[in-house]
Amino acid sequence: MNNFVCKYVKHMDIMFVKYVRKSLTFIVAMSISFVASALTRTEEHHFFRHRGMDREYLLYIPEGIGPDAPLVMVLHGYGGRAMKGGENLREVADREKFAVCYAQGAKDARGKTCWNVGYPFQAGLETDDVDFLCKLARHLQKEYNLSRNNTFLTGMSNGGEMCYLMAYLRPDFFAAVAPISGLTLVWMDKELHSKGPVPLMEVHGTSDKTSAWAGEPENEGGWGAYLSVPMAVAKWAVEAKCTHEVTENLPLRRNAVVLHRYCGGEPAWKGGPEIEVRLYEVVGGKHSWAEADMDTCEEIWRFFSKYLR
């Protein structure tokens, strides 16, 4: 009986060792696979020389991307860093096969990273971010064989203001723009004249205390006077000659999101789709990408993809 027990225990020990070995092999294999996958998703850090300054950007190119693939450029908020916001665009890019560039703003007199959009405290700032972003996009298109026609721009807060500025000054350059919690400063509205319509979508919370939904004509926040969000978006709907509005509610997550679609605009190009302007009204939403309220990055690409050529 004792011999039987000893043999049984020995047999069980051998089986346990084999099981552990197999389990460890599986875990190691999965770990290697995970690490390899993570490595393919690493953003490359680069510098681009622009007007005597080395400007930074992070570039994400998914595996299997083809020639003439689209490019989406993402801009951070005031005082922010590249890729602090809009990170989920990488997951969309993996599926849809487009490149994502997270550009880095230069520092202002306060020592804050920013985009030069004409805030009162940016007076005297010589950084030309309109030219920088256009030159950087051209560099990426050439260096990585990306599409000149299918280049898009999005950004949050200060980056959103940059989207509006680019819509005024270079509507021919980006196929569509998507400001998030962005503003149209009064100086833009008074001094700039649009050079043409542009497909545009804005995501904005009605309880945003940094970029107020109702606008701020007296510059109480220090960013400069700016238009109300509905008025700022409506100006681009008028520019595109949109004829009607369609309203729908997105699936509820946290705060309700009402999508206002201004439709019936001019064709984006001869024989192309109508230009559409969108306003995602996040009811009670704060100053953010609104990713707890909606799938913001999916909505951005869903809108951009309407204008692929």
Q: DSSP strand E in 191-255: where? A: 200-205, 244-249
pLDDT at site 7: 46
Query: Hey, is 155 helix, strand or coil?
Result: strand
Q: Which residues contact 244 (CB under 8 A, 6 or more apart)?
A: 262, 263, 264
Q: Which amino acid is it at 296? A: T
Q: Quick one: tokens of 267?
A: 């064709």
Query: In DSSP terms, which residues pair with 279 in a beta bridge?
Result: 202, 260
Distance CA 237, CA 240 (A): 5
- Sequence-ordered list of residues with C-beta below 8 angstroms from that of 225, at least 6 positions apart, any chain: 185, 186, 187, 216, 217, 218, 219
Q: At what angle do helices 129-143 and 158-169 cross, to 10 degrees?
A: 80
Using DSSP's 3-state secondary structure scheme, residue 112 falls into: coil
Task: Output the CA–CA distances (angstroms, integers) from residue 272 to 205, 225, 269, 306, in the order listed.
Answer: 32, 36, 5, 10
Q: Identify the pLDDT of residue 84.
A: 87
Residue 41: per-residue pLDDT: 55
DSSP state of 267: B
**pLDDT given at position 148:** 97
pTM for this entry: 0.86
Supply 54's token pair: 């080395």
DSSP 294: S
CA distance 308 to 149: 8
Round to the nearest angstrom and report the end-to-end CA distance of the chain: 81
Question: Would you give per-residue pLDDT tens digits along the chain (309 residues)?
Answer: 445 444 444 444 444 434 434 443 443 333 333 333 333 456 899 999 999 999 999 999 999 999 999 999 999 999 999 988 899 999 999 999 999 999 999 999 999 999 999 999 999 999 999 999 999 999 999 999 999 999 999 999 999 999 999 999 999 999 999 999 999 999 999 999 999 999 999 999 999 999 999 999 999 999 999 999 999 999 999 999 999 999 999 999 999 999 999 999 999 999 999 999 999 999 999 999 999 999 999 999 999 999 999
Residue with tokens 């309700």: 256
Largest CA distance in the chain: 99
